[in-house]
Amino acid sequence: MKIATLGPEGTFSHEAVLKFIEYPTQDDLLFCSTIYDIFEAVKKDWATHGIVPMENSVSGSIWFTVDALSEFDLNIIEEILIPINHNLAGNCLKAKEVTKLYCHQQAYTQCERFVRENMKKAKVVYTASNGESAALLLNDLNTNNIDKKDKSNKNKIINNINKTDEKVAAIVPRLALDKYRLKLIMKNIQDNKYNTTKFVVISKKDTKSTGKDRTTLSIYPSIDK
């Protein structure tokens, strides 16, 4: 079995994979950059299964997935519900100190009230995934550490010397927090504590009808009004 899902490691999609298969090896996983890439991986047999986000209880349908389902001749064989708990990680003690915030668009939408009320100084930098938010934060923190060690060395050119005082943070899942060993500023910052995302498992193979199955319909009008 080979499972394609959104990467890098530490995303909610990765968490959905761990719920679908408890102890996957690296050979079992194929991390993709986009939802379209996941569908293509299954279509071209680079993966036997794909796991993609379908709908969020707060922000609604994931239209990239809906559109891909109509384009690719693949089957939904299972659904997985993942509680969405967002965490704020970074190099400061309080949210109000943050000057730069990495976050995925969906994560921002689901934490918008908290960000507006508690991070008024933060410049928001949107990322391709929650895992990328964590990776970019880690990269900034590592750069800061290098700057602190090397800025007194006149023989080296320090490109990011001003970044040492920057208060940088990211909105990340718990899995990414643990994976990248990030410092937690505040947990569960999502605006809705019942926030849940439905993921679906896609495959070329279909499953037998159980009599209690769900059907997903996408309707595309011939005339745009």
pLDDT, tens only, 125-142: 999 889 899 999 999 888
pLDDT above 70 for 143: no
Cβ pair 192, 110 in contact under 8 A: yes
> For position 146, what pLDDT does the model report?
42
207-211-214-216 Cα dihedral, nearest 10 degrees:
70
Segment 68-82 mean pLDDT = 93
Q: What is the mean pLDDT of the chain?
A: 86
> For position 192, what pLDDT does the model report?
92
Q: According to the per-residue pLDDT averaged within each range, which of 143-152, 189-198, 204-213 is highest? A: 189-198
Give me the domains of the chain, ranges plus CATH numbers: 3-83+195-203 (3.40.190.10), 87-186 (3.40.190.10)
Cβ pair 198, 66 in contact under 8 A: no
> For position 144, what pLDDT does the model report?
56
Backbone dihedral region for residue 104 (phi beyond 0: left; psi -120 to 50: alpha; all else: beta): beta
In the numeric block, the tokens 């498992």 are attached to 201
Which residue would you say has higher pLDDT here, 106 or 3?
3
pLDDT above 80 for 119: yes
> For position 116, what pLDDT does the model report?
96
pLDDT above 60 for 223: yes
What ranges make up the beta strands (E) of 57-182? 60-61, 75-83, 87-90, 100-104, 123-127, 168-172
Percent of the chain whose pLDDT exceeds 90: 62
> For position 22, what pLDDT does the model report?
82
> For position 160, what pLDDT does the model report?
37
- The rounded Cα 147 to chain-centroid distance in angstroms is 29
Q: According to the per-residue pLDDT averaged within each range, which of 18-32, 108-122, 144-158 is highest? A: 108-122
Confidence category of residue 58, pLDDT binned at 50, 70, 90: confident
pLDDT in tens, 20-33: 998 888 889 999 99
What ranges make up the beta strands (E) of 117-223? 123-127, 168-172, 184-186, 196-203
Confidence category of residue 225, pLDDT binned at 50, 70, 90: low
Cβ pair 13, 53 in contact under 8 A: yes
Confidence category of residue 216, pLDDT binned at 50, 70, 90: confident
DSSP string computed for 11-52:
SHHHHHHHHHSSS--GGGEEEESSHHHHHHHHHTTS-SEEEE
- Per the structure block, which two tokens stand in for 206? 């279909």
3-state secondary structure of 130: helix
| CA 119 – CA 199 distance, rounded (Å) | 30
pLDDT above 90 for 35: yes
Helix axes 35-43, 63-71, angle to 10 degrees: 20
Closest CA to 194 of 111, 85, 114: 85
Segment 45-61 mean pLDDT = 93
pLDDT above 60 for 221: yes
